[in-house]
Amino acid sequence: MLEYYEKDNIQLFLGDCIEILEKAAPESVDMIFADPPYMLSNGGITCQAGKVVSVNKGEWDKSKGRMLHCKLYYYHESYFLMVTRVLQITEKIKLYKI
């Protein structure tokens, strides 16, 4: 885990989110920003700003088959369990698909 940035009351960490969440104290986090792979790069298309565009983001986002999807489900389940442990009760998680 690498402390990426710190100023005043703000700390940003760069690293494996599971390792960072495991080390965080309960209810010690104000916000979590995450952009996990969604495994949606499957040759499909969508409409964006009135134009047909590819949904392919890269090799890292391609589906690797049914077994991997099962593993990803359990990964995301454990991730969200850790998130609920460290996130302060009044705060939020923001998930993005960038």
pLDDT in tens, the chain (98 residues): 567 788 888 888 887 777 888 888 899 888 877 766 667 777 888 888 999 998 888 887 777 776 666 777 777 788 888 888 888 877 666 655 54
Q: Residue 53 sits in which domain range?
A: 2-95
What is the tally of structural domains in the chain? 1
> CA 9 to CA 31: how far, in whole Å?
12
- pTM, two decimal places: 0.57
Task: For strands 87-95 and 29-34, give the pairing.
Answer: parallel
Longest CA–CA span in the chain (Å) reads 46
> CA 23 to CA 10: how far, in whole Å?
17
Q: Which two tokens stand for residue 49?
A: 């700003």
> CA 86 to CA 98: how far, in whole Å?
24
